[in-house]
Amino acid sequence: MVDNEKIIIVEGLSDKKQIKKILADEVEIICTNGTLGVERLEELLIEYDLDNKDVFILVDEDNAGHKLRKQLSKELPHAEHIFIDKAFREVAATPEPELATALLSRSIAVNPIFLI
């Protein structure tokens, strides 16, 4: 069981690594590795107690990301959405200052060296 109250859901490991280095908060980051099957989503809901945590959805600005965001929105209506600029398309390709600002906008503490 995870004790963290904040959880960020991302698509892939490269997204997780990019976000993890920016964070100053204790935040659990879950990788979906693309779209989720119903069973896997149910496992995540139970394993991470997602119904009782602050959940943030941060996915790529592409078709797969939009599909995943829509799916997660249905299952986790309380989740907050963090968006990246469409110009970067992928979370992993988003410059650190951009990501830091996006995370900070949702009251997620970031290392100040990533803020311009």
Q: What is the pTM of this model?
A: 0.93
Buried/exposed 70-100: b ≥16 CB within 10 Å, e otherwise: ebbeebbeebbebebeeeeebbbebebeebb
Mean pLDDT of 62-72: 94
What are the Cα distances from residue 72, in Å, to 21, 23, 29, 64?
24, 23, 15, 12
Residue carrying structure tokens 């964070």: 23
pLDDT tens, residue by residue, 34-66: 778 889 999 999 999 999 999 999 999 999 999
pLDDT tens, residue by residue, 10-38: 999 999 999 999 999 899 999 998 778 88
Output phi, psi for 29, to 5 deg.
-115, 125
Walk me through the domains of the chain, giving residue ranges and CATH numbers.
Answer: 6-107 (3.40.1360.10)
Residue carrying structure tokens 């965001």: 69
Residue 36: predicted pLDDT: 85
